[in-house]
Structure 1
């Protein structure tokens, strides 16, 4: 018998051959039952039904009984019975009919019937009928899906059993963080479905990709040497006539290149103006453009905003843009007026944090918005300022300075990357680590390869294995 926590017997003692228990259910094979099992509710002390099952599994589906019926003599049972699911009240959720049942991930069960496979959900209900050659249950961003295979072709169902992708593709892939279901024809083409099962774009001859930084809003479709752009709604925005695209979504522009020419588009796919040698969108609603031997600026409509009178024109940043006339560099405002006089610099960079790098005789210093030199021309190379610090190279080694040129990290690194999420990747003796904005080594160089930090973690490669680390260098997960 079983007793409760008060020591009370839950049912009259019975001589048993075998007994198992899980939660409030027990499976008993009593003497005289011919090694058959009955399911007992320990809360009431009553059997749930009168059936004597050849086998009862209380562990594969918590809270339920997986029962097996076999109509022949017990001594002839060879493991090939009919399986069904009974709930904790004795109600048959799924009648005995399956030849095998196997636990899968996320509480689901794979069931087999006549050599075909389907899926039972965690409540014992048939979520996918057993009509497929194979079924697996991948998880996509935490949500399970059913991916069946029939005659060498894959499809996809959601966890409610709703068809998302017809069973007709050579592959159906779900990538973490990717907004679309990726399908392939097994040759050169692939296509995208969204999470509701809507076909977003038709097959491309060589492939589809989501451009970095567009958050799935745009999809590039390649056809031979040419590429076009689809919106996530499935609408073709830019025809398949260009070799590559660059995206400046914060400012509302896309730049397409075809052979040696650049073209400006807005994010609705409208082409603005004609062909240029180069286009470089910046702030203040202006785009640096070069045509022939001269450079100027375009407005949001693609019309000339600042005349093409410069030899080089760089994008606007913090309200100023570097321009070169002849051999001298200066800075103009959005109206085209000279804000910092032309000087004998060899090059001039963008303003960040109110400072801009300028170069003279192959060495770099920093000026403020009035054109005053704040640091000497002492650096062989320099990155732009960010949050009050800049990465600079002295000789062959990189270090870190503040706005006054004071050294925060001595020149000691062979290579560096920009700050991201408060840390910058640095390389020393072939290994990568990270420094903070005070120049301290937050994580000593020890990695073979790295990614920038984002939301407090970064992917790094160590001893041939990719792992995810936090800002103290502690491993938080392995990554395949």
Structure 2
């Protein structure tokens, strides 16, 4: 700790605009936040690792690096993923499709569509499942059948021992209980897998409460299995703030955890609470109510979603040059003020407040506004993007690169589609099967990896035409 304090006083550590400590930039194009004494570095188009003083631990040699645990990192060459420790020693060879962190240094490995799991450098579950997810100290696994199709869910421990057989349509956790479903019934199991209750259906949208259905009607229970809302509603939607939008006889209102009415059944629809408000619809008009059920604003625009950190997306409908209907998106605050007028073909407000931008789209190109609606990043890029630790990965004209929050390129650039074209060589021959079993021999004449275009010659009739890299087989 004294060493860290001295580094901070001497200016080696930098507190960034992204609310984290980073080593000084030194010769690198970018360095990430320090976690567990290590920061990810970036130079050119490659990543490595540095310590808190900015001294190199692992030279920049990987296309990507992400954290898997305190001492383990996923690394990629742009095609496949492997794992190393902070000394650069190989834990997993670079032959996996992806590596996904779980809790407590567990991480998921994916190979050929099959999922397994590692822990502290040891493979505890071989890649053989369709999916894996954590629940109450155990793992929900989906079976992957021999023919490649996905099957039912079961429950396994971290030694791949089956705790519940693979016979369920769904399994998830609620408090200390396991919720398992099969066909037209859902059971609540205790930690010993004993049935403590059974329902016709459940909605897992809530965290602290579980909407359940019995006798064709919906109610809700809490984590102690206590019934807080009786089985009396036609529908219950996802909510927050301990409030439930509910439907009764075709009309929508809001009740609390004691089934007391907070908003009268006066609406055509209620979209659910978020950020202390809920969007409501009545007579084809939209507004929102607060947690006291009060209608606090009518909108002239349709809301696309609810509010996140004081902002919500709005949409209006117009006609394009051909007379076809098109949607235009903007952003409003809770006072009804348009922060962003509805003039964009797409817009997205991030759920997390730490992500400061608003993603915008015009004619299939993407850029960013700040949260006050002012331009932040020009509308230039091929895909939506958000910033993490002060940089974002973007693509433009077939090339990928990173930018900082001022839109400046960070480091070098790479071909987005180089993987698809890498196996193709001029002179390579292959065959294309068409109708009635006819096979046409082809030969590659030229390859443009940047545009993904391949000129090929049809050898039977000596005709040239264009194909895409991904349509060319690896070999005969």
Q: TM-score, normalised by structure 1?
A: 0.55
| Structure 1 unaligned regions, length at least 5 | 1-104, 109-136
Shift of 1:427: 3.2
Tell whether 2:63 aligns with 1:173. Answer: yes
Name the structure 2 match of 1:449: 347
In the aligned structure 2, how far is the partner of 1:288 from the partner of 1:432? 39
> Which residue does 1:79 correspond to in 2?
none
> Structure 1 pair 331/178, CA: closer, same or farther in 2 (3 Å)?
closer
Give the Cα–Cα distance (whole angstroms) in 1 for the partners of residues 123 and 156 of structure 2.
13
Q: Conserved in 1, the CA contact under 8 Å of 2:268 and 2:283?
A: yes
Residues in 1 aligned to 2:315 and 2:67: alpha-carbon distance in whole angstroms: 29
Q: Residues 227-238 of structure 1: matches in 2 within 5 Å?
A: 227-231=115-119, 233-238=120-125
Partners of 1:329 and 1:401 lie apart in 2 by 23
Q: Which stretch of the first structure deviates more once superposed, 259-268 or 324-333?
A: 259-268
Aligned-residue offset at 1:107 = 5.8
Residue 477 (1) aligns with residue 398 (2): no
Provide the C-alpha distance between the structure 2 equivalents of 1:200 and 1:436, rounded to a whole number of angstroms.
49
Assess if the C-alpha contact under 8 Å between 1:331 and 1:341 holds in 2.
Answer: yes
Distance 1:473 1:163, change over 3 A: closer
Q: Is the 8 A contact 2:274 2:308 kept in 1?
A: no
Answer with 1 or 2: which has the greater Rg.
Answer: 1
1-structure distance, mates of 2:171, 2:56: 49
> In the TM superposition, what is the alpha-carbon distance from 1:376 to its structure 2 partner?
3.3
CA distance in 2, matches of 1:281, 1:355: 21
- C-alpha change, 1:349 and 1:470, in structure 2 (3 Å) is closer
Asked whether 1:466 is paired with 2:367, we answer yes
Question: Counterpart in 2 of 1:191?
Answer: 82
What's the counterpart of residue 331 of structure 2? Answer: 434
How many residue pairs were aligned? 327
Deviation at 1:144, TM superposition (A): 8.4
Q: 1:3-42, aligned counterparts within 5 Å?
A: none
Measure the CA separation in 1 of the matches of 2:367 and 2:104. Answer: 25
* Counterpart position of 2:471: none
Indicate whether 1:367 and 2:255 are aligned.
yes
Separation of aligned partners in 2, 1:389 and 1:202: 49
Verify the 8 A CA contact 2:30 2:43 in the aligned structure 1: no
TM-score by length of 2: 0.56
Equivalent in 297, 311, 314 of residue 200 of structure 2:
311
Deviations along 1:221-262, one digit per CA (max 9) or x if unpaired, are: 22223212334x3333543222124456xx656533233422
**Relative to structure 1, is the Cα distance of residues 366 and 210 closer, same or farther in structure 2, using a 3 angstrom cutoff?**
same
CA, structure 1 residues 378+243, in 2 after alignment: closer, same or farther (shift >3 Å)? Answer: farther
Contact 1:397 1:415 in 2 (8 A): no
In structure 2, the residue matched to 1:325 is 214
What is the Cα deviation at residue 311 of structure 1? 0.9
Q: 1:293 aligns with which of 165, 170, 184?
A: 184
Kindly indicate which of the two structures has a greater share of residues assigned to strand: 2
Displacement of 1:356 = 0.7
- Give the distance between the partners of 2:99 and 2:158, measured in 1 at CA: 17
Cα distance in 1, alignment partners of residues 103 and 340 from structure 2: 30
In structure 1, C-alpha distance between the alignment counterparts of 2:339 and 2:160, rounded to whole Å: 44
State the Cα distance separating 1:472 from its structure 2 match: 5.1
Q: Deviations over 1:105-135 (max 9, x none)?
A: 9664xxxxxxxxxxxxxxxxxxxxxxxxxxx
Shift of 1:442: 4.0
How many Å separate the matches in 2 of 1:321 and 1:277?
18
Give the Cα–Cα distance (whole angstroms) in 1 for the partners of residues 42 and 210 of structure 2: 54
Match of 1:83 in 2: none
Cα shift at 1:350? 5.0
